[in-house]
Amino acid sequence: MIDFDHNATTPLDSRVRGGMIELLGDPALDGNPSSVHGRGRAARAVVDHARRELAAAVGAEALGVTFTSGGTEADALALLGTCRALRRAGKACGLLSTVVEHPAVLGAGARLELEGIPRVFVAVDERGRLAPGEVVAALNEHPELGVVSIAAANHELGNRYDIPAIVAAVRAGVERPIVIHSDAVQAFGKIHVDFGAWDLDLMSVSSHKIHGPKGVGALIHRQHHELESLWIGGSQERGRRVGTEAVPAIHGFGVAAGLVARELDERRARFVPLRERLLTGLRAQVPEVVIHGDPDQTLGNTILASIPGCVGELMLINLDLEGIAVSTGSACNSGKVSGSKVLLALGVAPELASTALRLSLGKDSSAEQVDALLDCLPRIIERVRAHAPRPAAGERS
User: Which residues are designated catalytic?
Assistant: 332
How far apart CA 350 and CA 311 sit, in angstroms, is 11
Separation of alpha carbons 246 and 258, rounded Å? 18
CA neighbor of 245 nearest in space, from 21, 8, 27, 29? 29
Q: How far apart are CA 180 and CA 269, in angstroms?
A: 31
Q: What DSSP designation does 6 have?
A: T
Distances (CA, A) of 88 to 112, 225, 283: 14, 14, 54
- What 3 state SS string does 41-62 have? HHHHHHHHHHHHHHHHHHCCCH
Strand partners, 37: none
Order of strands, sheet of 290-292, starting from the edge strand that comes earlier in the sequence = 290-292, 302-306, 356-360
Rounded to 5 degrees, φ, ψ at 328 are: -105, 10
Q: Which residues contact 47 (CB under 8 A, 6 or more apart)?
A: 33, 67, 245, 247, 250, 251
Query: Residues 339, 367, 269, 287: is their CA dihedral positive or negative?
Result: negative
Three-class secondary structure of residue 89 per DSSP: coil
Rounded Cα distance between 279 and 261, Å, is 28
Query: Dihedral, CA atoms, 4, 5, 11, 13, nearest 10 degrees?
Result: 70
- Nearest Cα residue to 355 out of 315, 390, 322: 315
